[in-house]
């Protein structure tokens, strides 16, 4: 790494809110595979020829766990499905690409000439992958607590933002996801009844999936009634799922020894991946 590149990365660290113990991790996170493929002269240090793909893979796991943990802290009473929807919005490609632009990571991204000519610095796929690689690099440099702290810094403005359209009591969004996944169609809502004087109206609405009423609810407005109907529909669907005969259900998963609840499966699914990549022989040469 030449002095100009080192100076550029040191300047970037100020925007990231994190100082690397080994800046080689940051350099690797900002090295696209197209740059490596087009490099004609092999580097003196073999580790410097590595692109950011493995750090991206690792960062995806770290980011998922960190965001899941932060969401459970921000919304302790939220339904698991709502947390899952919020997480998907926070870690989706467009959000991560936006974060990359805010941090100006693309200005330090090493790309091959062909990718540059194809507008690589503006491609959301490349930008989102770069942010994941950055989080993977921070994890490798300092471990998970520090990586999660950086994610918290970067995502705090988004955690409770209304721009993602999802709230703790947004049962309609959760029912929408369920209906699309199982029936390939959106639920429909109908106002069944209204009562009371004009200044104190009450509305009753129904939630319908595939032509069948799944739930009804009352509210002071049509929107509130629809939310109540969606909540009832979700409860009915959950009860129906629980009542399925064991022979019709998928084999139950093995009990988890630790990390139960919303984060349980996620934690146990990726923690081995994180420990694997923290092994000394994976680290770049110091």
Active site residues: 60, 132
Determine which helix (DSSP H) or strand (DSSP E) holds 195, and give its type and residue range: strand 188-195
Residue 93 in tokens: 């490609």
Q: Which residues contact 39 (CB under 8 A, 6 or more apart)?
A: 49
Closest CA to 169 of 229, 101, 231: 231
Which stretches within 143-199 are classed as H helix?
A: 144-159, 171-183
Distances (CA, A) of 196 to 158, 255, 277: 40, 51, 63
Rg (Cα) of the chain, in Å, rounded? Answer: 24
Q: Which residues contact 79 (CB under 8 A, 6 or more apart)?
A: 168, 171, 174
3-state secondary structure of 242: helix
Residue 156 in tokens: 């705090």
Q: In what order do the strands lie in the sheet with 188-195?
A: 188-195, 202-209, 212-219
């Amino acid at each position: 790494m030449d002095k100009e590149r080192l100076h550029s990365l040191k300047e970037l660290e100020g925007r990231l809110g994190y100082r690397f113990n080994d800046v080689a991790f940051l350099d690797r996170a900002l090295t696209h595979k197209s740059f490596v493929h087009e490099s004609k002269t092999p580097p003196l240090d073999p580790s410097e020829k590595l692109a950011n793909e493995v750090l991206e893979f690792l960062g995806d796991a770290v980011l998922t766990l960190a965001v899941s943990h932060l969401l459970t802290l921000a919304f302790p009473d939220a339904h698991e499905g709502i947390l899952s929807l919020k997480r998907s919005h926070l870690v989706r490609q467009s959000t991560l690409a936006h974060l990359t632009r805010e941090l100006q990571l693309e200005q330090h991204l090493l790309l091959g000439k062909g990718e540059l000519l194809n507008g690589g610095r503006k491609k959301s796929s490349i930008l989102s992958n770069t942010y994941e690689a950055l989080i993977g690099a921070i994890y490798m440099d300092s471990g998970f607590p520090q990586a999660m702290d950086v994610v918290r810094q970067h995502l705090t403005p988004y955690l409770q933002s209304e721009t993602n359209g999802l709230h703790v009591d947004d049962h309609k969004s959760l029912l929408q996801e369920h209906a699309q996944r199982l029936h390939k169609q959106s639920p429909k809502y109908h106002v069944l009844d209204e009562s009371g004087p004009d200044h104190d109206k009450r509305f009753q609405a129904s939630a319908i999936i595939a032509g069948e009423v799944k739930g009804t609810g009352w509210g002071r407005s049509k929107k509130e009634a629809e939310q109540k109907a969606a909540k009832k529909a979700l409860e009915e669907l959950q009860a129906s799922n629980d009542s399925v005969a064991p022979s019709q259900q998928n084999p139950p998963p093995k009990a988890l020894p630790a990390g139960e609840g919303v984060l349980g499966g996620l934690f146990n699914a990726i923690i081995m991946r994180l420990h694997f990549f923290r092994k000394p022989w994976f680290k770049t040469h110091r």
